[in-house]
Chain A
Amino acid sequence: MVKRPSDNLSVCGSCHGEIAKNYKNSLHYTTAGLKHGVNGRMATAEGKIFNEKVFPKACNSCHASCGDCHVKVPVIGGINIGLIKGHQFVKRDEAKTCALCHGGRVYPEYTGEYGGTPDVHYQKGMFCADCHVKSETHGDGTVQTGRKDIMDRPSCQKCHPSGTEKSDKSKLAHSAHNGKVSCVACHSSGDYRNCTNCHEGKGAKATPGFILGRNPRDKKTVTTLRIIPTVRDTFVESGVKMEKFDALPNYWDTSPHNIKKRTDRTRSCDTCHVEKSGFLTRETLIKGGSKANEGLISEPKALK
């Protein structure tokens, strides 16, 4: 008996050839985002060891086959809740598929189970696939190294373009922050999950937090940051010391799925410009983290 028949993409590809061809290079299948996310911390030689020995057994073991989203609920942490709808093939059922693999942070943030307020899009009846379209979940055929490579990824401004605001207050706030502050920095409703000691060998522990700082991929912009703490000795047992550990920060730009129309930051300029609530500081940086973390600290300007 073949355990995961659709892991061999040619099985589904015999009828769904185009999708299978695209999917072969997609992040859901290759999990390449995890590899490229950490490769930057490694010297060339140890990067090769990681890619050949660690990645296939660890990160890539979580890749999704066709059946994991269309037949059977994915097995996460050894928990197996079986088929989605008998043995029928289903087109989409986000609560039983996306919610499992992305249930550590994204899904519970979205439904309000983590943090306290459901995302406004959830409140309006929208589910994962309403924003994350097929060319993202199946891939578009190009070889992708990370989420930022996806051309068709969701963007707030696709549905909410600048200039369509209903109130003058919103127009003014958006034009004043355009290009300097991300949408989520103001419209995230609050705490989201931060992985404070994953990969430390002590078992995963997540704590709620809301962190504002410079986007490591675009330091002109302030955005919400999430702690992704690959610690210095994460791969030591596999012979990978991460010689360039300090080249990358432990905080990465994130889009918390807890969007709200009105937040403390939209209600009052003082929240950021006077109280500086949520902003990363030297005092709040994680201990023993990367030296690159300091470059993400941003001091909000005083109001004129």
Chain B
Amino acid sequence: MKKTGMLVMMLLVLCVGQVWGASLPAIVSTDWLEQNLGNPDLRIVDIRDLGEYKAGHIPGAVSAAYGSWAINVKPLDNEVPEQEDLQDVIRNAGISEKTMVVVVGKTDTIPNQVNSPRVAWTLQYAGIKQAAFLDGGISKWLADKKPMSTDMVKVVPTTVSIKFQKNMMANKADVTAGKAMLVDSRLPEFYFGASKVPHVKRPGKIAGAALLPSAWLFKKDGTLREVSEIEAMAVGVVGKDKSKDMILYCDSGRLSAGFVYVLTNVLGYKNVRMYDASLQDWVEDPKAPLTMYNWN
């Protein structure tokens, strides 16, 4: 495996006439990524656990596990790290303002499926505009019999200065202001109030929120559904107006990243924000209302 990965890298580097993608597709396929493995403007970021990375990864990929991108800040899970800390992570991954970043993760569970778009969104929130994720993740890469490597990749840290893009983030005040369409990206049983995850104190949804589950973005094999199908789902819920102001939320800001990424990067909606702290933050106020047992 190690030798195969090295060979592929060498062939790609030697291939002077190689035409690499000038820009990053919103949905990165395994074929596109393989063709761009030697692209000097590309950085592949593997967000799986370090042990999994060491056992085998895409040639040239650097390791930066999911926990580096989304931390727990009591009582909230999945928070964006402090700007200086996130900047260190981005610098140490060898990413600069103009780097094309492809995030590679696992797709075996719903949380793992949304982790990759969550990290891509975090990079964009930090001002790294060209950030996307590998469709189907490492499972699809392996299924397609693409090369793997066990070489530990070390990169020279960059000196990039990041700046949070405030227009991508919403807080509780933005939600209560009532100006934006609210979208709940959890599964229906949670939206309806029939179920609750342990890390959220109360069941239910924020009044007026529409339902658009991020889990439905993915097929059983962990790849995204066809864009036409995703677009039809989205239009059916949020409408066709690409300038509509929207705020997506879930339990902790993890699930919502799926549709936030797709609405913005794939479908072209311009004003999509994420209520990152989501219901974990909302229910901290015991008087904050949640509605249950209706589909409105």
Contacts and interface: CB of A to CB of B under 8 A. Distances in A.
Interface of A: 93-96, 99, 111-113, 115-118, 122-125, 127, 260-262
B82 interface: yes
Contacts of A95: 49-52, 54
B72 A118 contact: no
Contacts, number: 56
A112 B66 CA distance: 9
A contact face: mostly helix, strand, loop, or mixed: loop
Nearest to B92: A124
A116 B82 contact: no
B152 A125 contact: yes
Given A123-B89, A262-B82, A116 B71 contact: yes
Given A115-B72, A116-B71, A261-B85, A122 B65 contact: yes
A93 B55 CA distance: 9
B76 to A, nearest CB: 9
Nearest to A119: B67
Interface in B77-106: 77, 81-82, 84-85, 88-89, 92
Interface in B27-86: 49-55, 62-65, 67-68, 71-74, 77, 81-82, 84-85
Interface residues of B, number: 27
B252 to A, nearest CB: 12
B82 to A, nearest CB: 7
B50 A117 contact: no
A112 B51 CA distance: 14
A125 B71 contact: no
Contact of A118 (B65, B73, B82): B65
A94 to B, nearest CB: 7
Contacts of B82: 262
A74 B62 CA distance: 29
Given A94-B51, A95-B49, A262 B85 contact: yes
A116 B80 CA distance: 12
A113 B154 CA distance: 24
Nearest to A260: B85
A125 B63 contact: yes
Contacts of B84: 262
Contact of A117 (B55, B63, B67, B154): B67
Nearest to A99: B51
5 contacts: A112-B68, A113-B67, A116-B73, A123-B68, A124-B92
Contacts of A115: 72
B1 to A, nearest CB: 13
Nearest to A116: B72
9 shortest interchain CB distances as A-B pairs: A95-B51, A116-B72, A112-B67, A118-B67, A117-B71, A123-B68, A125-B63, A116-B71, A118-B68
B51 A125 contact: no
A113 B77 CA distance: 11
Contacts of B51: 93-96, 99, 127
Nearest to B93: A123
Nearest to B88: A261
B87 to A, nearest CB: 11
Contacts of B50: 95, 111, 122, 125, 127
Nearest to A96: B51
A117 B92 contact: no
Scoring A111, A123, A260 by chain B CB atoms within 10 A of each residue's CB, the highest score goes to A123
A124 B73 CA distance: 21
Contacts of B73: 116
A206 to B, nearest CB: 16
Nearest to A190: B74
B88 A117 contact: no
B72 A123 contact: no
A124 B153 CA distance: 11
B59 to A, nearest CB: 16
A95 B62 CA distance: 18
Nearest to B89: A123
A111 B67 contact: yes
A260 B82 CA distance: 12
